[in-house]
Chain A
Amino acid sequence: MNCNYKDKIISYIENDLTKQEMAEFESELEKNSELQLEFNEMKATLNSFKNLPKIETSSDFIVNLNNRIDEYESSKIKIFNNVFGRILNYNYLPQISIGAVTLIFLLAINYFGFTNFDTNSNTLLSNSSEVVNTDDSEVADADSLDVTE
């Protein structure tokens, strides 16, 4: 049998051919008994899927699924409680307090230290610009002297 036509059997069944291809296939199908046999067998194979038994879920499917979802939700809460429960456990409270105070202290030093440094550096900068200005004025004075000379 012409292999091209065999390949077109499924495309024909699924309406996946152009009008011209369809017409060609149909005319070949009429005169070619081997193609007819292949075509009918393929149609029967595809129809047989309807005979597959339909599986239905049991009545407790949703109940079981919801139980599993509840388990998941409670395990999430457990993990949260385990992590934060340990941290907030009374046994660790002094260490946590000391840690917190130290952290606040370090942050305060960091903040105020840098603020002061910024203020100082601004002062330093303004002083240095004055110095530069003074130097410039001196240079200017010197130039003016040169001119007068």
Chain B
Amino acid sequence: MDKMTLTDEELILAFQNGDRDAFNHLVNRYKDKLTNFLYRFTYDIDSAQDLAQDTLLKVYINKDSYKQIAKFSTWIYTIASNLAKTELRKIKRRKTFTISDLSTDDREFVIHRSDEDSFENEEDNSVSGKILEKCLDELDNEFKNIIILRDIQELSYDEISKILQIPLGTVKSRINRGRFKLKDLLKQKGVTLY
């Protein structure tokens, strides 16, 4: 049987029945998607890859806790999203610790992510990936997560509602508000939107 044609749900079922090759197919399908998703939280390729591996390892270890009632993508993104939240908390704690450890003079030299690169050198004012990343990073987490899931990972509203465990109506309104906030941020950075 050609595994390329199987759905994610059929592959995880085969893996639950002991087919290790089915797991390898799932890894190939999700490794880039997960790394891209996690990169939007960490902004570090290495830690995004580590988290993607953590996610896939959790799938391997807890394969039997997946039930066929849910979509596989919902399950795997829920795992990844939880890992991302934990990682963000760790990064926040680390940042607080490092900065509070510095003397007042040293603190003046701390470069914030948004100040790292100036937009003045950009060749044109259209939305570059870099600017968009920075604006996304400036959004509140509740909007950031949901926009990443919808507009970058292209998941359905229903899937997002299940992953974030919030009602469908809240998902829709939060996505709308988040997009308008993002648009305003882009405009504040001097980006011409056309």
Contact = CB atoms under 8 A, between A and B. Distances in A.
B57 A58 contact: no
B39 interface: yes
B132 A52 contact: yes
A7 B176 contact: yes
Interface SS majority for chain A: helix
Contacts of A145: none
Given A52-B129, A61-B49, A40 B31 contact: no
B32 interface: yes
B187 A46 contact: no
A20 interface: no
B1 to A, nearest CB: 22
Contacts of A56: 32, 35
A72 B61 contact: yes
A15 to B, nearest CB: 13
A55 B37 CA distance: 9
A57 B127 contact: no
B56 interface: yes
Interface residues of A, number: 25
A62 interface: yes
13 contacts: A10-B179, A40-B193, A41-B193, A44-B193, A48-B186, A49-B132, A51-B127, A52-B129, A52-B133, A54-B32, A55-B48, A61-B31, A61-B35
Interface of B: 24, 27-28, 31-32, 35-36, 39, 45, 48-49, 52-53, 56-57, 60-61, 127-129, 132-133, 151-152, 175-176, 179-180, 182-183, 186-187, 193-194
